[in-house]
Every structure is written in C-alpha cells, then in structure tokens.
Amino acid sequence: MAKSLKVAVIGAGVAGLASARELGREGHHVVVYEKSDQLGGTWVYDPRVESDPLGVDPNRKIVHSSLYSSLCTNFPRQLMGFSDYTFEIRKNGELPTFPGHEDVLKFLNEFAMDFGLIQLIRFNTEVIRVERVNDQWMVKSRRMSELILEEAFDAVVVCNGHNTRPRIAVDIPGTQ
C-alpha cells in the first residue's frame, strides 16, 4: 500500500464530499474545511439577498447562495448519484426524476453520514491562504472570524465551487 498522506479538502459540497470519501478509502488522513455551518455547497438554500447583487462593492456582505426556493435539478436524479450510492430520496412515496434542491441536500447529508464524512468536516472554517513551503502545503484557516490556525498537509484538493460571486457581462464586443 502507498504511503498515507495528510490531505486538506477545501469545500464540503458534492466534489469535496466525494473527494474526502475516496481519499479516506485509499487510507489517507483527510481534513475538510467548510466555510459555512453546513455541508452541501451550492445546494444550500439561503433566502437572504445580497445588498449589492451585481457584486460591485468589494465590502458587501456575501450571501452564499446560487439557487432560488423553487429550484429543481435540470438533469435526472439517476445521473446525480454515485456508482455505489444511488439517489433514492422519496417524496410522497415517489422518486421524482428532477428533484428539488431540498432533496439534493438531503441526499448529500445522508451520503456524508453513511460514509462517516461529517466528523472530517471543520464547519465555520474559512481557508484564507494555501502556500507551498518546501515539500508541504501550509493551509491557514480562520474559524468564526477569530481563531487562525496554520497546518501542514501533503496535498490539497480545492473544491470551493464557482457560484459564489456574480459574473457580470460588462465588456461584450460589439455592444457599444
């Protein structure tokens, strides 16, 4: 068996959870950093709205939510599961083909519970810097805006998504 590594996974959304599970299966020591107070990443609904929805103000309070209350997936649940863990959440006795975001989040929570991933996650912990120092990765994190911790890892997997900040089509050629 290969050497066991200490691996940081940044983000506890779908990619972070899948990465943590597979790394754990390979015998590695995994620490998952999650900025929010729950897992699920983009599937966590937050009814709040940013004060600056275009994201122009760099000092705005960022509301991490990229979905709306009535959102359903645009691809079938049969494709959303894992090869050894199918998406089988029932709603009113039925298995909807295109589940709502609540069902996806429930599925991810069950996945994390069934594979023992919850205890690997450091909730409310924001990674503020990752730097290569000699042969290790130094991960600096902040928990609840106060405690700053720096730890060394053999590897880092970044799974922080891309839906937090709005993208503004400002400079489109031919529109002027």
Q: Tell me: the pLDDT tens digits for 45-86?
A: 988 877 777 777 878 777 776 688 899 999 898 899 898 999
Assess if residue 173 is contained within a domain.
no
Give the number of domains in the chain: 1
Q: Is residue 54 part of a domain?
A: yes
pTM of the model: 0.85
pLDDT of residue 150: 94
Q: Which domain holds residue 146?
A: 6-158
134: in domain: yes
Q: Is residue 124 part of a domain?
A: yes
Percent of residues, the chain, with pLDDT higher than 70: 87
Q: How far apart are CA 81 and CA 99, in angstroms?
A: 12
Tens-place pLDDT, residues 98-120: 999 999 999 999 999 999 999 99
Residue-averaged pLDDT of the chain: 88
The DSSP bridge partners found for residue 155 are 7
Residue located via tokens 């997997």: 157
- Integer Cα distance of 34 and 139 in angstroms: 13
Asked if residue 147 belongs to a domain, the reply is yes
The Cα–Cα gap between 121 and 110 comes to: 14
Quick one: how far is CA 86 from the chain centroid? 19
For residues 36 and 127, give the distance between their C-alpha atoms in angstroms, rounded to a whole number. 11
